[in-house]
Amino acid sequence: MALKIYSTLSNSKQEFVPLEEGKIRMYVCGMTVYDYCHLGHARVLVAFDVITKYMRASGYDVTYVRNITDIDDKIINRAADNGEAFTDLTDRFIAFMHEDEKALGVARPDIEPRATAYIDEIIAMTQNLIEKGYAYACDNGDVYYRVAKFEGYGKLSNKNPEELLAGARIETGDIKEDPRDFALWKSANVDDVSWPSPWGAGRPGWHIECSAMTKCCLGETFDIHGGGPDLPFPHHENEIAQSEAANDKEFARYWMHAGAVRVDGEKMSKSLGNFFTIREILEKYHHEVVRYVLVRSHYRSPINYSEENLKTAKVELDRLYTGIRGYEHVKALDLCEFDDENSHVKAFREAMDDDFNTALAISVLFEAVRELNTATKQQADNADDLAQVLKSMAATLGLLLENVDSYMQSGLGGAAISAEQIDTLIAERIQAKADRNFQRADEVRDLLKEQGVVLEDGAGGTTWRRE
């Protein structure tokens, strides 16, 4: 089955045909770094991490670019409030972002360009657009893009330019030719955060940054452009207008957008008190449980984040980890290393080739773990092979990468009882059973159960896990 991708541009699934056979060039809009990454960022980080992992596991040579916006009004204002240089602020939150993505098992992109490193390229593209008549400089040093000049404006977001004009508000003193026009370059005082340009001191607008960085990192046309649910309009629409006008070529061939995150059915908002940063969530829940919540829904589907969903996710992930207990010696492989006739891998590939349907792919994991559990009980010869298949498929999703006991025994969210205390009580229970003091042995089991610790007696001794 050929890989199919749902492209926002066509509003349909399309067979994916890369510009260059065997190679994929992908650009995803990253963070504006002035605060900690939140749950919405986690959705985008994990979604495109899974997409990249799968494409590589399928044998593609992937160049993954995810930018950093390190100059913006919010950045400048936050730095001023803190009494620090804007570069100190952005460097700090870039480091925090890297910590968060590592904690979620998200691999770093191949290229991570910062907007401030591409000022010359941004100025050159802006000048090109002026010379072609797609942009104009105002007396105050601002430069705007002429939306009416670009015939294809609105093709990504399905917005009618005339309707945008009818709904636009004209502010008093607005120097734009058309209220729909957007800034390519913003004038600034020399003492402000600014760079010299043909139009005076200033800094780039938000949209032009990505057009310049994609061209420098991936070329004038590349395979996939991705981002969050709020980006098709105006950001990505404006990127298309800028890039295709400047380069006279198609910009990105496939457009992918992750779904939104809701918290207990409501939009995440600081004012509603349901706004969570990645690090706040990881203080309470194991990172693979959080990742599992984000992966088990299709990347385009909205996610409802709730305590109940997290608890359900842990129960399901526990089942998978329980299945691979005792198979620590088995190593995961890339999917392209398996025979095409392997039924589980074939079903997994079919799910992922259908626009990266992780929800269906996870159901394949549970089919595999059921077969593995049976093989384990029967001590079947193919048990190791089944474990390898399960681990390999899960690794493609960034799951089942922890030591089983470490995962099962992780104590987050202020666990009332430590691992050392648990081990001491288990030793006491074993001794009580040896002394035929079964009442005390049962009391210890019940005590641990009250603390959310489940004991499992087997041929190899007693193991434990947290509920």
Q: What are the binding residues for Zn(2+)?
A: 29, 210, 235, 239
Query: Any idea what DSSP says for residue 108?
Result: P
Backbone angles phi and psi of 42, in degrees to 5:
-60, -40
C-alpha separations of 257 from 6, 160, 228, 364, 427 in Å? 9, 20, 5, 25, 52
Q: How far apart are CA 25 and CA 225, in angstroms?
A: 9
DSSP string, 39-90: HHHHHHHHHHHHHHHHHHHTT-EEEEEE-BB---HHHHHHHHHHTS-HHHHH
CA 266 to centroid of chain Cα atoms: 21
Q: How far apart are CA 113 and CA 214, in angstroms?
A: 9
Length of the chain: 467
Binding-site annotation, residues: 29, 210, 235, 239, 270
Task: Compute the Cα dihedral for 15, 21, 23, 27 and give only its sign.
Answer: negative
Nearest to 205 by CA among 228, 234, 229: 234
Q: Which residues contact 122 (CB under 8 A, 6 or more apart)?
A: 115, 185, 204, 208, 209, 212
Binding-site annotation, residues for ATP: 270
- Contact of 423 with 435, CB cutoff 8 Å: no
- Residue 117: other Cβ atoms inside 10 A: 12
Q: How far apart are CA 200 and CA 183, in angstroms?
A: 15
